[in-house]
Structure 1
């Protein structure tokens, strides 16, 4: 999931591309994971290897570091996992959907009838 600009301040070095983020957070997580996907509850046995074709999708794996509770402030070891694209996208699906709904509602503006709202006032 793209990181909102206002949340980048919570990352070491202010970016996931910074030397600090890579050294202090990303490198230890990937080392712990053995440079493989650590999986999620949806795909607990995924062990896709960084830089190799994914065993299920065939795409080249690029491991990312995921905040499992979606809290970008918490960089504790228990909250971070190395995930392949498939696992990270599946893990972030619900928060992405919620965010998309909020964004669309904000863009529509106040007072616009939402076809899918549960309650009309």
Structure 2
């Protein structure tokens, strides 16, 4: 996932090398998620591989490096996880919700709007990632099973 310019200073200078080592040397180019995203992966580990179509979404996988505690300065091995886009976004889901709430409240305050939340309400706490049961039937598979109209019959 791209790093926002305002957050670049939070990453170590050797972040590209650290991220590459996690994604390709340690993980072997495969997503390391074993359920941190809330999904129940078949075989226990997400099967998504870098550069290949994602088994659930069909889009090309771009392996990323996720910070499990959402702190870019913390590059300890046990805090980093090679993750496909789907798993990374799900891992960060709660963090993104909270960040968006804080950003919107700050924008409203800057515009002179009185906030309904006190400063203590705006302290970041991470809600859990919502669970989603894994199904062998992906969205694409469901679409492929939809009955198609018989065009010859409709024309008559």
Under a length normalisation based on structure 2, what TM-score does the superposition of the two structures give?
A: 0.62
Write the distance in 1 (CA, Å) between the matches of 2:104 and 2:27: 37
Size of the alignment, in residue pairs? 109
Query: In structure 2, how many angstroms separate the alpha carbons of the residues matched to 1:10 and 1:32?
Result: 23
Corresponding residue to 1:26 among 9, 19, 22:
19
Q: Distance in 2 between matches of 1:113 and 1:78?
A: 38
Cα shift at 1:113: 5.1
Q: How does 1:1-121 map to 2 (within 5 A)?
A: 3-13=3-13, 20-23=14-17, 25-30=18-23, 31-39=25-33, 40-41=35-36, 42-43=38-39, 44=41, 45-109=45-109, 111-112=113-114, 114=116
Q: How far apart are the structure 1 equivalents of 2:106 and 2:90? A: 25
Unaligned segments of structure 2, at least 5 residues: 118-156
Q: Give 5+ residue unaligned stretches, structure 1.
A: 14-19
CA positional deviation for 1:4? 4.5
CA offset digits 1:49-87 (Å, max 9, x no partner): 000000111000001111011111110111001100100
Query: Under a length normalisation based on structure 1, what TM-score does the superposition of the two structures give?
Result: 0.78
CA contact (8 A) 2:108 2:115 kept: no
Rounded to whole Å, the distance in 2 between the matches of 1:106 and 1:9 is 22
Cα shift at 1:7 = 3.0
| Cα displacement string for residues 26-50 of structure 1 (whole angstroms, at most 9, x for unaligned residues) | 1210111110001142135212000
